[in-house]
């Protein structure tokens, strides 16, 4: 730090200084300058011959430093240089802003033109947003009036004309949200009476002809509604004629492809088949393995014996099932057999309980002889479980 006398020669905001030490550069206004020179960054202030200069991040004394001290000193210098650069950038921005203001003050016509253009842009943006809001409201109202309230007659051309006003990205996104909500509301409204009439089916088709929902979304929405009726029908493991008619009507009325509800309808047919089982059961005439002469077989199909194990790390499930044996599954009046490269046998008399997992087509057979249940997988899991249950309950008869 020091005070000294010198004569100032101003040459604008940016100044190059050439001396024996090298080349430096400084920037500032009258009375204050920031610079970077051969000896480091500095602040220079003063007027009318009296000046003050302060170097930042450096020491005028020369001394030896260790490697660690040199590294620390370099960090301090870099930090100070970065600070100076930020300050210089701020000053440059300030100078540019002042020049712009002075220029506009000297040229009021340009300032007026800028204000007019800004007003036009702002007005255009406001009008666009306002028009979009009105178009969104109009589109929602027309869909509600036609398909939900049914107070307005369906006119495809009119609806599409209103929808086409939402032609910007934000408008199309909002239209998609409206269509999703109206579509679900229409489906829910139609099935309130557990029946889809021909008029309601036409209503769905009309709606699908004007909205932009893709087929995958529509199929998923319809399948969810069908599944709710399906779960309600099978919860007591008893299917009535009324429930069958409702399921068929919902599937046909909503236009659901049979492949989408194939598994659900398969379970329904299996329950119907299961309902016909009564004691005494009708034995099979033959089976692909040799059984005891005193045994009668009542079921034969392909099956698997599974072992439940803890899933490996990283798996989405806590447990996994591993196939222990896969082959012919045969149920007799005495045993459950699974035969292939050996035999797994469960005595009917040892069975305490049967738990049916429809989704995974799995039977959990609990026995009095072991703590761990035997896991059996087969296609007709409900039908198979019902046969075992009938045989278990009548084994002593």
261 and 316 fall within a common domain: no
157 and 253 fall within a common domain: yes
138 and 270 fall within a common domain: yes
Q: Could you give the angle at the alpha carbon of 314 between the alpha carbons of 311 and 315, nearest 5°?
A: 45
Boundary-marking domain end, from 210, 244, 275: 275
222 and 311 fall within a common domain: no
Q: What is the pLDDT of residue 132?
A: 84
Q: Are 80 and 57 in contact (CB under 8 A)?
A: yes
356 and 307 fall within a common domain: yes
For residue 285, tell me if it sits in a domain. no
Give the C-alpha separation, 85 to 386, whole Å.
84
pTM for the predicted model, two decimal places: 0.63
For residue 287, tell me if it sits in a domain. no
CATH number, domain of 359, equals 2.30.29.30
Q: What is the pLDDT of residue 316?
A: 84
Going edge to edge, which strands form the sheet with 374-378?
343-347, 335-339, 319-332, 297-310, 374-378, 362-367, 351-357
Give the C-alpha separation, 35 to 85, whole Å.
10
Q: What is the pLDDT of residue 65?
A: 46
Q: In whole angstroms, how large is the CA radius of gyration of the chain?
A: 43
For residue 126, tell me if it sits in a domain. no
Q: Are 372 and 364 in contact (CB under 8 A)?
A: no
> Any alpha helices (H) in the chain, and if so which ranges?
67-106, 108-143, 156-163, 169-190, 198-210, 215-234, 241-253, 262-275, 381-393
For residue 346, tell me if it sits in a domain. yes
Give the C-alpha separation, 33 to 301, whole Å.
95
145 and 252 fall within a common domain: yes
Boundary-marking domain end, from 103, 122, 149: 103
Query: Range of 62's domain?
Result: 2-103
Q: Are 283 and 296 in contact (CB under 8 A)?
A: yes
For residue 120, tell me if it sits in a domain. no
Structure tokens at 114: 């800028």
User: Tens-digit pLDDT profile for the chain (397 aa)?
Assistant: 444 333 334 445 555 454 555 545 565 656 556 665 656 666 565 555 555 566 655 444 444 444 555 555 555 656 666 777 777 777 788 888 888 888 777 788 887 888 888 888 888 888 778 888 999 999 999 999 999 998 999 999 999 999 998 888 888 999 999 999 999 999 988 777 788 999 999 999 999 999 998 999 999 999 999 999 999 999 888 899 999 999 999 999 999 998 999 999 999 999 999 999 999 999 999 999 999 999 999 999 999 999 989 888 888 888 889 999 999 999 999 999 999 989 999 999 999 999 999 989 999 999 988 899 999 999 999 999 999 999 999 875 4
- Cα of first residue to Cα of last residue in the chain, in angstroms, is 114
Q: What is the pLDDT of residue 177?
A: 94
333 and 210 fall within a common domain: no
For residue 174, tell me if it sits in a domain. yes
Question: Which residues face 363 on adjacent strands?
Answer: 356, 376
239 and 327 fall within a common domain: no
For residue 369, tell me if it sits in a domain. yes
> Which of 336, 366, 329 shows the shortest CA–CA distance to 351?
366
Q: What is the pLDDT of residue 4?
A: 38
385 and 319 fall within a common domain: yes
Q: Could you give the angle at the alpha carbon of 253 between the alpha carbons of 251 and 258, nearest 5°?
A: 30
Give the C-alpha separation, 111 to 78, whole Å.
42
Give the C-alpha separation, 337 to 317, whole Å.
30
For residue 196, what are the contacts with CB-CB under 8 A and spacing of at least 6? Answer: 190, 249, 250, 252, 253, 254
Q: What is the pLDDT of residue 88?
A: 75
> Which of 14, 34, 151 shows the shortest CA–CA distance to 96?
14
- Number of domains observed in the structure of the chain: 3
247 and 302 fall within a common domain: no
Q: What is the pLDDT of residue 194?
A: 81
248 and 138 fall within a common domain: yes
């Amino acid at each position: 730090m020091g005070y000294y006398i010198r004569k100032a020669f101003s040459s604008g905001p940016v100044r190059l200084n050439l001396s024996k030490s090298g080349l430096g550069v400084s920037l500032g206004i009258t009375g204050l300058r920031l610079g970077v020179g051969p000896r480091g960054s500095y602040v220079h202030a003063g007027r009318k011959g009296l000046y003050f200069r302060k170097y930042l991040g450096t020491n005028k004394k020369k001394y030896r430093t260790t490697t660690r001290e040199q590294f620390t000193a370099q960090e301090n210098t870099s930090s100070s240089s970065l600070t100076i650069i930020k300050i210089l950038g701020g000053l440059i921005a300030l100078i540019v802003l002042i020049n712009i203001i002075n220029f506009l003050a000297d040229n009021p016509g340009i300032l007026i033109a800028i204000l007019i253009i800004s007003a036009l842009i702002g007005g255009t943006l406001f009008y666009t947003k306002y028009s979009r809001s009105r178009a969104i409201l109009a589109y929602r109202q027309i869909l509600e009036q036609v398909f939900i309230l049914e107070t307005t007659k369906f006119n495809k051309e009119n609806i599409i004309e209103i929808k086409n006003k939402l032609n910007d990205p934000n408008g199309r996104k909002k239209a998609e949200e409206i269509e999703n909500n109206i579509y679900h509301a229409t489906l829910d409204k139609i099935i309130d009476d557990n029946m889809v009439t021909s008029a309601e089916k036409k209503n769905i088709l009309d709606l699908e002809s004007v909205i932009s929902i893709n087929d995958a979304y529509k199929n998923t929405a319809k399948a969810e509604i069908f599944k709710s009726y399906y779960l309600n029908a099978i919860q007591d493991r008893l299917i009535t004629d009324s429930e069958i008619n409702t399921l068929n009507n919902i599937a046909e009325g909503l236009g659901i492809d049979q492949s989408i509800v194939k598994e659900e309808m398969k379970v329904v047919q299996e329950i119907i088949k299961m309902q016909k089982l009564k004691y005494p059961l009708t034995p099979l005439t033959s089976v692909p393995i040799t059984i005891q002469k005193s045994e009668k077989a009542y079921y034969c199909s392909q099956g698997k014996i599974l072992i439940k194990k803890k899933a490996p790390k990283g798996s989405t499930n806590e447990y996994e099932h591993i196939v222990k044996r896969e082959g012919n599954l045969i149920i007799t009046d005495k045993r459950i057999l699974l035969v292939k490269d050996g035999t797994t046998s469960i005595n009917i008399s040892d069975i305490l309980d049967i738990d049916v997992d429809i989704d995974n087509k799995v039977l959990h057979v609990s026995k009095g002889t072991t703590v761990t249940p035997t896991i059996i997988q087969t296609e007709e899991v409900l039908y198979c479980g019902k046969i075992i249950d009938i045989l278990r309950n009548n084994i002593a008869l």
